[in-house]
Amino acid sequence: MILDRKRDPQIIPSYSLTGDLLSFLRCGLQYRYHNGSALPPSRPVQLWFGEFIHGVLEIAYRIWFSTTPKPIFPWPSNPTPYLGTAPVGRAPYDIGTIGDRVESMLTAQGKNPRSNIVRDSAYRRAEAAINEIAPYLFPLVSSAEERIIGTRDLPPLQANTNLRTDRYELHGIIDVLTDVQLNNVPADNLIRNAIISQPVLNYPSTSR
């Protein structure tokens, strides 16, 4: 009986739609240093900042979606003073109330703003995002925080081949906008009009 030697396991690399793809598009060399060479950023303040804005928008959407009647924009913004106590009597949809929830979650993960200046800047941008963008964006969202995954549809791996760059998996978490929401919002919705004005793109098929 002839026995073959055990083949090396074939691992398909997995990439994040945001963490990997957007980082590579921003700067391929920086992506190589931080990911291929495991060189950490010197002071990743953008990590706290980005996750804070994302967290505030996510909670704000869920409050808007689940509340009847829906809170009218603009929403109040009364942040808790830096290293201070929260103001009394804030509404659940106050951006300061939402921000406290997000800051608590990030602190539990060991993520904190570098300074009071960074924190104030994040709150100003969160207020602008909710009061200037959310009135147009929230009515278009069909589903929030949906996990997606896709793999490139290629033939099975063959022995003695090294096709790592030809085979990969993409995964991520996205918010879903659909034709139903686009057709149900007023015609003066700025985001709706921007989406409709774009040409239709035909992407190659992938397995999902």
| Euclidean distance between CA atoms 126 and 118, whole angstroms | 12
One domain for residues 21 and 48? no
CA distance 106 to 56: 12
Q: Which of 146, 153, 152 is nearest to 175 (CA)?
A: 146
Residue 106's pLDDT band (cuts 50, 70, 90): very high
Q: Which residues constitute the domain of residue 51?
A: 43-196
Whether residue 188 is contained in a domain is answered as: yes
The structure's pTM equals 0.67
Span 140-186, pLDDT tens digits: 887 666 666 777 655 555 544 555 556 667 766 665 656 556 777 88
Let me know if residue 208 belongs to a domain: no
Confidence of residue 74 (pLDDT cuts 50, 70, 90): very high
Other Cβ atoms less than 10 A from the Cβ of 125: the count is 14
- Residues 32, 119 share a domain: no
Q: Share the mean pLDDT of the chain.
A: 77
DSSP-H helix ranges across the chain = 23-26, 28-31, 45-66, 95-108, 116-128, 134-137, 179-184, 190-196
- Is the separation of the CB atoms in 131 and 54 below 8 Å? no
The predicted model gives 49-70 an average pLDDT of 91
